[in-house]
Amino acid sequence: MKTPLIDNLQYANFSPAIFEQMRAGGVDAVHVTIAYHETFREMVLNLEQWNRWFEAHPDLIFKGTSAACVRRAQETGRTAIFFGFQNPSPIEDDIGLVEICHQLGIRFMQLTYNNQSLLATGCYEDYDAGLTRMGRQVVSEMNRVGLVVDMSHSGDRSTLDAIEHSSRPIAITHANPSWWHKALRNKSDEVLSALTQSGGMLGFSIYPHHLEGGSQCTLQSFCQMIEEAARRYGAGALGIGTDLCQDQPDSIVEWMRVGRWSKVIDYGEGSAANAGFPPMPNWFADNRDFGNIRDGLAATSLTSSEIDGIMGGNWLNFYDSSFGPAC
């Protein structure tokens, strides 16, 4: 069986048209965001919507819960959909909901989304206090049940704390190195070294605010960055997490950035003059464009087996070891 194609983060405005594009692009698995700021009950409503899509489009998509689902997707010509949270809000202040969420099919959970949470500190806060008391216990519980710790929107100290405290490798599902492009959401060499040396995974983002040159970032620059990351951290720790927000209205950016916690708009990585979604680079508009990334990587010094791993094989290995209960 060939190496799978996996995108380990999307928050598109999902629709049958996008599911068709996944199939046209040969995408075997996608990790989709089920919650940003939702409560547990609101998150369940989002799961209900996905259940309706699974029922209506069984020839295109199905719910993924294990690495075996990726292999089944390849065998049946469909896309396995894996669920994750970009914020721990659905577990509220109840550690027992960690296991319940895993039982519902959630496989990734960020400990923060930019702000301070009950668990850790987000990357936009002025002071990073690291993992909280509840955060340490929740990480241990996530390790126990097989829910992956994701630190994509967390501060450096909190991320390093999570790497140290977690008994299982963690992930940064969608970010880029800050040595390539300085953004609050991109990650330092110190963090990425600790992440990858502990067996964790980095997913490269194509969200324009994370790219050198923004929407004008070239495919060559992006792929050369991946090549350098492979040299620094090892190609086996790298994958793709596009952060694709296809077809989302600009109002969703406000929801992502402020939820219900603020009366004013916090523009975060954007600006008051450009508060909506930035245009995607011309080489990646939707799920049909992953071949462009593969072709760009082929023009670097990376080997074909390293490219296969980055395009999905490495995430599959991570799924194999991460989604079940700890032994």
Please report the pLDDT score of residue 1 as a whole number: 78
Give pLDDT tens digits for 197-223. 999 999 999 999 999 999 999 999 999
Mean pLDDT score, 46-56:
98
Q: What is the pLDDT of residue 261?
A: 87
Query: Which stretch of DSSP H or E encloses residue 128?
Result: none
pLDDT above 60: residue 106: yes
- Residue 253 confidence (pLDDT): 84
Domains, in order of start, for the chain? 6-322 (3.20.20.140)
Per-residue confidence (pLDDT) for residue 275, from 0 to 100? 67
pLDDT tens digits for range 110-158:
999 999 999 999 999 999 999 999 999 999 999 999 999 999 999 999 9
Instruction: Please provide the DSSP assignment of 149-196 as one string.
Output: EE-TTB-HHHHHHHHHH-SS--EE-S--BTTTS--TTSB-HHHHHHHH
Which one, of 209, 202, 212, 233, lies nearest residue 315 by Cα? Answer: 202
Confidence band for 268, pLDDT divided at 50, 70 and 90:
low
